[in-house]
Structure 1
Amino acid sequence: MEWTGARYADKPTVEVSTWIQASADRVWSIVSDIGRMPEMSTELQSVEWLDGATGPRLGGKFVGRSRHESLGEWSTTSQVVEFEPQRVFAWAVGDVTHPSAIWRFRLSPKDGGTELAEWMQMGPGRSGLSEAIDRMPDKEQKIVFVRLREFERNIAQTLAQIKKMAEA
């Protein structure tokens, strides 16, 4: 059977959500504090606002340093592309018009708590994954599939930790 997964140029996405027994304000205070994200991630090692910023705002930039056993270590600069307090916080990695990824948290009031979804899109801009695809173009769909599953697991872990913090 032939592999029929997504290609990187398709800008594949993954989304995971959870319900949190806490107000959107409480959940927002955690998801919008990018300095806390490395403690919830196996990949992200550190994050720092740039240009004198001390918190999120539309157009704000930050640098993230990451590490992955197969991809090595790297740093990226991201820019906040959506910012609506207590509702949505999203950033594009690399070039805003041609990002290597887009990440988004979306908060919605639900059943006396908050539904929190984390979504990410790969591509279309080049990333470390592009180098792996360049080396093994015949395995592109499998590479993309495996990386999406990694992101899905990591997002689920991040949301579980945000839930735990918000409900504490």
Structure 2
Amino acid sequence: MRYADGPTVEVDVHVDAPPAVVWPLVSDVTTPVRFSEELHEVRWIDARRFVGRSSHPAAGTWETTCTVVAREPERLFEWVVGDPAHPSASWRFTLTPAGPGTRLRQWMRMGPAPSGLTPAIEAHPDKEERIVARRLAEHRANMQRTVEGIRQLAEERAAGA
């Protein structure tokens, strides 16, 4: 698995709440801050762009500018990191009706543009596959915490409705 291949990771969870209840949580870019060990702050710049501030023990603290590239209420919320024409990462939430509930998926792809991972790969090209695999595992863990957190919030809201 090499960075240039655009590796991806996806997690999903069944939510006992309809898409109308889940949607406000996934389309609020600040929601993942509540669950991620890496993402610490998000603020909107304008109607389509936001800045995320993250930190990692091996990389320090950094900010990225993200652009919302798809927004289909109760179905899809997608954004890219960096240049929308050549992003360093792409992220997506997908909501699919599942009976009275929702199947919530979060997906991300690395690249194709360089990212914070690029210096580590350039410094240790012989370890690229391990570096990429470890980063994907970190993303998977944070993403799983996020969809589980959204599930809990949505189900609490649905129960209180």
In the alignment, the residues of structure 2 paired with residue 35 and residue 104 of structure 1 have an alpha-carbon distance, to the nearest angstrom, of: 14
In the alignment, the residues of structure 1 paired with residue 20 and residue 119 of structure 2 have an alpha-carbon distance, to the nearest angstrom, of: 40
The aligned residue for residue 37 of structure 2 is 42
Q: Map 1:101-112; keep pairs closer than 5 Å.
A: 101-112=89-100
SS in 1 for 2:30: helix
Unmatched tracts of structure 1, length 5 or more: 1-5, 54-59
The aligned residue for residue 133 of structure 2 is 145
The aligned residue for residue 76 of structure 2 is 88
Which of 116, 128, 131 is matched with 1:128 structurally?
116
In the alignment, the residues of structure 1 paired with residue 126 and residue 86 of structure 2 have an alpha-carbon distance, to the nearest angstrom, of: 24
Structure 2 counterpart of 1:149, which letter? A
In the alignment, the residues of structure 1 paired with residue 31 and residue 139 of structure 2 have an alpha-carbon distance, to the nearest angstrom, of: 18
The aligned residue for residue 115 of structure 1 is 103
Which structure 1 residue ranges, 4+ long, deviate > 2 Å from structure 2? none
Unmatched tracts of structure 2, length 5 or more: 157-161
TM-score (norm 1): 0.91
Percentage identity across paired residues of the two chains: 50
Q: Cα deviation per residue 1:31-74 (whole Å; 9 max; x = unaligned)?
A: 111122211111111001113x3xxxxxx000000001111110
Q: Map 1:14-93; keep pairs closer than 5 Å.
A: 14-51=9-46, 53=47, 60-93=48-81
In the alignment, the residues of structure 2 paired with residue 155 and residue 37 of structure 1 have an alpha-carbon distance, to the nearest angstrom, of: 8
TM-score (norm 2): 0.95
The aligned residue for residue 148 of structure 2 is 160
